[in-house]
Structure formats: structure tokens, C-alpha cells
Amino acid sequence: MKIVVYAICKNEEKFVDRWMDSMLEADQVVVLDTGSTDGTAARLRERGAVVTEETVSPWRFDTARNRSLELVPEDADLCVCTDLDEVFHPGWRASLERAWTPDASQASYRYTWSFNSDGSEGVVFWIEKIHSRQGWRWTHPVHEVLQWTGTASPGPKVTAAGVQLDHHPDPTKSRGQYLPLLELSVEEDPADDRNLHYLGREYMYRGQWDDCIRTLLRHLSMPTATWRDERAASMRFIAKSWEEKGDIGAAKSWYLRAIAEAPHLPSRPDGHRRGLLLTV
């Protein structure tokens, strides 16, 4: 199989070598640089990536992702979308090839989104950013997802056991663009419960406690919001907002509801469930 990694980037020179070391099990690496002013593009080319430099305006992550996907050769069998702050564990290609079938269209694999201060895994889930070459496009201005656009139904989704991708983000990077893009995303698709959850979380990050509570109550009321892990997260964020507003009783109530919603989630090494600090 011909496996091609594709990505978008901007001013991520410090991640280039680690990322390229991880991605070189692919047959080709193509990158859309959306305006780096450091040495990102040059270093990527030195390491063997095919780099295209373009400005995306107005900025949307789905627009940039779709443009980067266009850079993947038409004869590719598998497209692997990653970011420069992510790292595959060695041997990912062999695991992917064992799992893939000729009629498959997408692969699901394990993703560690965050790590605890002691180096242990924090938030872990399965993602599906490996896919066949034809029939896919990215959608949503931020927290973008793959959408099938083919004329026929997509082939089966395979589980790529042994493929592990780790996320090591830059803590200094600004989130300033996220809120307006999330508000736009909810405006464009108000029935998407995932977008609403992310918008409420972003309000919490910014200390907009009333906006967070209002938005996440709306998320919890949606008939499509059935994933218990995400529902529990919304409840924790509501609890955090009430705690910051000084209503300890409301905060405790929502923390306890979060535990009841998803008791299956593991505890951290210090014993607190899912990062839940019951200090109230």
C-alpha cells in the first residue's frame, strides 16, 4: 500500500524533527504551511516533506485540512492526517497494514490527548483520522471532523490495534482563534451536539462562567448528546463554573452528577476520578 501522511502547520519548527522521525514510516509526507515566519517550512523540506506554502483567509481549520488533503497524490491508498505536535509510536505502519482490508474506508486507533504531571496518560480516546483517498472532506471551522461525500456508502471502518498516537501540545500557543470559530461552527450547524460541548468548554477556559453554564445545559438537553463520557465532562465544566461563581452547593451537585453519569471512567493515580477534585 502507498501510505501518505498529510498535515497543516504554522510556526512549529521546534516540533519538526520529532514529528518527521515519527512519520517516516509513511511513503510520503505532505504539509500545507499556512504562513510560518520561522524555519518550519525549510526544516520540513530538509527532512524530506513536500511542503506547500499558502495563506488561508478567512482562517478555518476545515478549509486548511481540505487543502492539505488535496496535496495527497491521487494514487495514495491510505491518507494519515496528523499535526506536528503529535507522535506515533514506532511500528504504526505495520499495525495499520495488518488491520486494513481492501474494502475499508477508515481506521480507528488509540489517541492520548493529554498526559498527567507524572507522565502517565490523562485523557485517552479513539480517533479516526486515517482514511481512504477518495470520498472524504473535512467539515466545521474548528474541531473539524471527516465527512463522507462519496456517491456510494463508505466501506467498513477497521480497528487498528497497536497504532498509538500521542499528543504533546505547545502550552504557549494562543487559543485566541478558537472561540469565534466555535461560535461560527454552532451557528452553521446548531444541531451538532459535539460543537456545542466544545463551545461550552471554551467559555469555561475563558472564565465566561454564565455562558459556559447556559451552553452546556443546552448540550445536555440535546437528544443526540448520548455519549456518557462527554456528558460527564459537560457536567464537570458546569460544576467548575458554579464553583467559580461561589455557589458551592450547585457545584457539588453537578460534580456528583458527573460521577453518576460516567462511573466507568478511570481514576487518576492520586485517586481523583477523571481529574475531578471534590474540594467543595
pLDDT in tens, 2-45: 999 999 999 999 999 999 999 999 999 999 999 999 999 999 99
Provide the angle, in degrees to the nearest 10, between the axes of the packed helices 228-245 and 248-261.
170
CB-based contact 265:273 (threshold 8 Å): yes
CB-based contact 175:167 (threshold 8 Å): no
- Please state, in angstroms and as integers, the Cα–Cα distance from residue 255 to each residue in 116, 139, 227, 233, 276, following that order: 20, 33, 17, 10, 8
Q: Which of 170, 187, 163, 166 is nearest to 98 (CA)?
A: 163
- Please state, in angstroms and as integers, the Cα–Cα distance from residue 167 to each residue in 13, 59, 144, 171, following that order: 16, 23, 17, 12
For residue 21, which amino acid is it? Answer: D
Grid cell at residue 91: 511500528
Q: Is 79 exposed, middle or buried (0-12, 13-18, 19+ CB in 10 A)?
A: buried
**CA gap 252, 154 in Å, rounded:** 45
Query: Residue 183: how many CB atoms within 10 A of its CB?
Result: 17
Confidence of residue 266 (pLDDT cuts 50, 70, 90): low
**CA gap 254, 265 in Å, rounded:** 16
DSSP 3-state assignment of 198?
helix
Q: Chain-centre distance of CA 169, in angstroms?
A: 11
Helix (H) or strand (E) segment spanning residue 139: strand 136-139
Query: What pTM did the predictor assign?
Result: 0.87
Confidence of residue 269 (pLDDT cuts 50, 70, 90): very low
Q: Is 122 exposed, middle or buried (0-12, 13-18, 19+ CB in 10 A)?
A: middle
Helix (H) or strand (E) segment spanning residue 45: helix 40-46
CB within 8 A of 271, min separation 6: which ones? none
pLDDT at 173 over 90: no
pLDDT at 201 over 70: yes
In the block, cell 457539588 appears at 252
Grid cell at residue 120: 502517565
Confidence of residue 275 (pLDDT cuts 50, 70, 90): very low
Q: How many residues does the chain have?
A: 280
| Partners of 273 in beta bridges | 267
Mean pLDDT (the chain) is 93
Strand 124-132 to 78-81 pairing? antiparallel
Confidence of residue 170 (pLDDT cuts 50, 70, 90): confident
pLDDT at 228 over 80: yes
Phi, psi of 31 (to 5 degrees): -135, 135
Grid cell at residue 193: 451536539
